[in-house]
Chains A and B, each alone.
Chain A
């Protein structure tokens, strides 16, 4: 199985030298850190006084403290809405662009722009767009006769966040799907047309099955991003006192550790977050085996 360039004599040393940074990062930076986080999650530690053993207390709190439960529920709710929205929206855009259209590169540039620019900078504009009294969105809605709402209030903040996050992520998804769509041979469609299959049928029978690898990849990436969503939430939902109208896991971890100096509790949350992500990944890879077609 293992093929390739064979290191000769002293070159073995070179090989391991070249791998050293990665090995250090892997052993200390990641594996070590994960174990350390796990260890910390069983302690109470504010980094000022020595750590105290906490047993499972931090984990009990995860399921009893309404604030921490809310952070988890918010993260899951957000992901459940965000992931399908991004996948469907970017697939739709990619399909529109996959036709022979004029100005493709201009469209592509425009759709991709939010994916390049920082969420912090664009969130500042979105803050103005979402403003209740002077906001652009309510003003536009007003012009077409729809009463504006307070977008960033507790009631509407979830929709507002989904819109911004999808807006920011369509660009990358679109590229993934465009790459997937161009691999489908054109004659498949020609043959299907000759057989009298209409466009809808062609989509379900040819396009969709053949881009399942892209759908899989995009769903996977979007899920990882959804569980780590932070920037827009920090920028758009943070209130004066530092809490959020829509606290998610990462927000809660940050606040728990760096505002309240509860590093043990925050570590337990980080473990909780990782377990969710890893379990979801395992589920996705199980789905991949059954439903994703590679040729």
Chain B
């Protein structure tokens, strides 16, 4: 009886803490939604349900001189390019490291993993100088081109997954006369779908949410990404006053990822769990 009672008390504590935590986690989002539907005059009211709900803020996004739709399009195109580049080049490398036998494999992989330790900022300045020299600063190229050169994280994640594919499949394919590339393309890519989609979501998220690189390569509105645009917009409006429009912009900017997250929650979570497994 006392065990049952202590379980009940423990349940009560668990739920109380989880609910309190959940309120803290979600309040900023509820506040964002609430404010984006408020009239600018009501922006400082502390009600969750707007007293005079309006769509005015969303309409205004298209009027303001920062050209919101263009920002949205830029972010979309850049993020898609980054996903394509990373999936392709990381998968090829991961396949070689996980499956193919060649000299220097372990050494090369170890070197790649060591680069993960270096903060991205250490490569930023030389890369900027190169892109400036190529006259590509101010275009989106520096933001997606590096994604076509593999990457430690993506390669690591996919290699982990490829390692779990049964080797008998390779032997069978070899018997049928399949080439190296065919084994990669026809066996490993389709089988790797869960890991590939996890990586795709990750990479998309990072590209979509990146602030530092767009700030360096596409620093001026309107030809920039959502993050830089919103940051600029934030500066303008902090002094000009309309938080409601800013919130509407922020809300639209997070929607695609929130939707992807709701649809592909499993992949997201698997991706993180997968990256936490060491071999």
- Contact residues in A for B253 (Cβ distance below 8 Å): 118, 120-121
- Count contacts on A: residues with CB < 8 A to the other chain: 99
From the candidates B21, B99, B148, B243, name the one contacting A21 in the complex (CB within 8 A): B148
Interface residues of B in 235-250 (CB under 8 A from A): 235, 238-239, 243, 246-247, 250
**Chain A interface, >50% SS class:** helix
From the candidates A26, A116, A258, name the one contacting B258 in the complex (CB within 8 A): A116
- Looking across the interface, which residue of chain A has its beta carbon closest to that of B115? A30
A117 beta carbon closer than 8 Å to chain B: yes
Taken together as a complex, chains A and B put the C-alpha atoms of A250 and B125 apart, in Å, by: 12
Taken together as a complex, chains A and B put the C-alpha atoms of A170 and B24 apart, in Å, by: 12
One of A12-20, A57-65, A66-74, A77-85 at the interface: A12-20
Evaluate contact between B278 and A217: CB separation under 8 angstroms.
yes
A54 beta carbon closer than 8 Å to chain B: no
- Contact residues in A for B32 (Cβ distance below 8 Å): 121-122, 124-125
- On whether A110 and B170 interact (CB within 8 A), knowing A36-B126, A124-B234, the answer reads no
- Contact residues in A for B25 (Cβ distance below 8 Å): 110-111, 113-114, 167, 170
From the candidates B18, B99, B150, name the one contacting A4 in the complex (CB within 8 A): B99
Taken together as a complex, chains A and B put the C-alpha atoms of A33 and B122 apart, in Å, by: 7
One of B57-65, B189-197, B207-215 at the interface: B207-215
- Count contacts on B: residues with CB < 8 A to the other chain: 101
Evaluate contact between B22 and A110: CB separation under 8 angstroms.
yes
B102-137 near A? 1/0 per residue, CB < 8 Å: 110110100110010111111111111100100000
Evaluate contact between A19 and B273: CB separation under 8 angstroms.
no
B26-42 near A? 1/0 per residue, CB < 8 Å: 11110110010000000
- On whether A3 and B254 interact (CB within 8 A), knowing A18-B92, A37-B122, A263-B125, the answer reads no
- Other CB < 8 Å A-B pairs besides A118-B257, A231-B209, A278-B117, 5 of them? A2-B101, A14-B179, A112-B261, A117-B258, A124-B246
Provide 26 A-B residue pairs closer than 8 Å at the C-beta atoms, listed in order of the A residue. Answer: A4-B101, A4-B167, A5-B174, A7-B100, A7-B101, A7-B180, A14-B179, A15-B100, A18-B184, A19-B96, A21-B149, A22-B89, A22-B93, A25-B150, A25-B151, A26-B111, A37-B126, A112-B265, A116-B258, A117-B254, A118-B209, A121-B251, A125-B28, A228-B120, A234-B215, A254-B215
Residues on A facing B (Cβ under 8 Å): 1-8, 11-12, 14-15, 18-19, 21-22, 24-26, 28-34, 36-37, 40, 47, 93, 96-97, 99, 101, 105, 107-114, 116-129, 134, 136, 139, 167, 170, 172, 175-176, 178-180, 213-214, 217-218, 224, 227-228, 230-231, 234-235, 238, 240, 249-250, 253-254, 257-258, 263, 266-267, 270-271, 273-274, 277-278, 281, 294
Closest 9 CB pairs of A and B: A25-B149, A22-B150, A36-B126, A33-B123, A118-B209, A134-B44, A179-B273, A21-B89, A121-B250
